[in-house]
Structure 1
């Protein structure tokens, strides 16, 4: 068989860059990964054609892309990029006989079980039953989660928009933050959802709230907050503690909603940046703070995924399992 008959093209499309690679079965060829600046291209198809030309390939057997935006009826509309991605466009650009378009969080769900152990960092010990439901939770530019079900017909990663549910309120401080978030900042919209306090801009909002309560409102970018936290700044530390408290509540609520006895898996830049602080700020206690169900919460483990190319692996796994769409 020729390379074109055995290789798949996989791509992870972010708001700024697109990463493209070749895969054989579930394995992504690490030496084939290339990064393209989206600003230099009018759409995805020219990126894929350029990649194949550089690789010396006229076509591939299959193509699957992960898009940072909603996917409906096989069409992806990028959230922070003026690109629309269709199956017909993928076929035309790659010559693939089988194509698929996934939401980026769905691609991460398909990667579970195919990620090398060195890229998995446990942060909450608990049950981990192979074959049971898992939950992938993204905390980065946005916030969302998707349950992962292995069925006799194959893996199903269900779509969700749970990042926009109400922020949980467990304490007086939580309530004050919720009210503060309704009106503070350019992105305020009269409602404080989970994403509004946990995503990158959410961390900035929490810091603004903490500094406001301390008597001197400070507007800082997420990277500046993390730098201040590393330097021991008390406002940044209080911000991180409150953020971890809310994250624990949200993860605990999601665990009780979906019963992911196969584990919860955290992805995303904000989650990874906060990982060194999750233990000392007692994420486990906040996660298990469920009254008479506290002991039941010991059934669930939480792991941070530290693989930058997991979405590519998920695309490869989806195609290898016969996935379309």
Structure 2
């Protein structure tokens, strides 16, 4: 399909497993242009983007923005769960775009807030009315874990990056202490991401098998399927433990950032858990802050069920860079 030259933006969401690429007109993704590529099939992002340009009939975008699952510093990104390094020069060379930008994937999710169809937002914990410039917080649970605060200032939106998934896991109970020790034995350091991620759910399941002296392994999608059909009590126990720790971590992050505009859970694992968060105790763990338990009701919690929100956020970021 032929596209007009220097009209659309090219946007990409680079995860640990797949890269999604699309064209955008302003903040809107152009219908029918989203393509998904398995990262293991390519040597690096430049190869992916060149393939996309070819697949879209040699499209010549005017701008390009990629969202990367890893830290971005001085215009250069290093993937956390993939051996790729991405910089603006590579992005320009691959797309021939006049303007390029690189975001952390959670930054892109933050830039998407306000531009997502409300039908794709599920409320887990309601909150009070939101003021226009109230801070927000996006929390990503998928291949990894991360969080980023969103500030709407008079000068525009600012989404600050972080690497929250590599902070220490919180410990509230004897069981959680043993879980931390189990993760540390296997991986050397009990980080949040070692539990709150897809592979983290698998580790929680394995930990419960060790606790019961009945070791078994299951993939994360199998664990969630077993929660749906009630076929494996250990899967349900693993999901409950996962959910309580997620509530604790999100509550901690909320007290640090004060997101009176709401907490937004994003990522594939968040979407999979969305129907179960309430029944598995997310709210109780989120509010379990002693004398600040009542204060926690200031923070609404939602799940974004739009798999392409990072693409929308990347497009919105390019618009903000050049609002004219």
TM-score, normalised via structure 2 length: 0.91
2:182 to 180, 183, 200: 180
Match of 2:208 in 1: 210
Task: State the 1:74 CA deviation.
Answer: 0.5
Structure 1, unmatched stretches of 5+, are none
Match of 2:239 in 1: 240
Match of 2:78 in 1: 77
Contact 2:71–2:162 at 8 Å: present in 1 too?
no
Do the aligned partners of residues 47 and 236 (structure 1) sit closer, same or farther apart at CA in structure 2, a change above 3 Å counting? closer
Task: State the 1:265 CA deviation.
Answer: 0.6
Are residue 50 (structure 1) and residue 51 (structure 2) matched?
yes
CA distance in 2, matches of 1:224, 1:39: 23
TM-score, normalised via structure 1 length: 0.91
Residues 126-177 of structure 1: per-residue CA shift (max 9 Å, x gap)? 1351321111101111111111111222211111111122211222222222
Query: SS state of the match for residue 179, structure 2?
Result: helix
Structure 1 residue runs of 4 or more that deviate by more than 6 Å after TM superposition: none
Are residue 261 (structure 1) and residue 263 (structure 2) matched?
no
Match of 1:124 in 2: 125
Are residue 133 (structure 1) and residue 135 (structure 2) matched?
yes
Task: State the 1:34 CA deviation.
Answer: 1.8
Task: State the 1:58 CA deviation.
Answer: 5.2
Match of 2:21 in 1: 20
Structure 2, unmatched stretches of 5+, are none
CA distance in 2, matches of 1:208, 1:128: 42
CA distance in 2, matches of 1:17, 1:214: 35
Instruction: Report the more deviating stretch, 295-304 or 173-182.
Output: 173-182
Do the aligned partners of residues 206 and 24 (structure 1) sit closer, same or farther apart at CA in structure 2, a change above 3 Å counting? same
CA distance in 1, matches of 2:116, 2:12: 17
Residues 76-98 of structure 1: per-residue CA shift (max 9 Å, x gap)? 22334343222122222323221
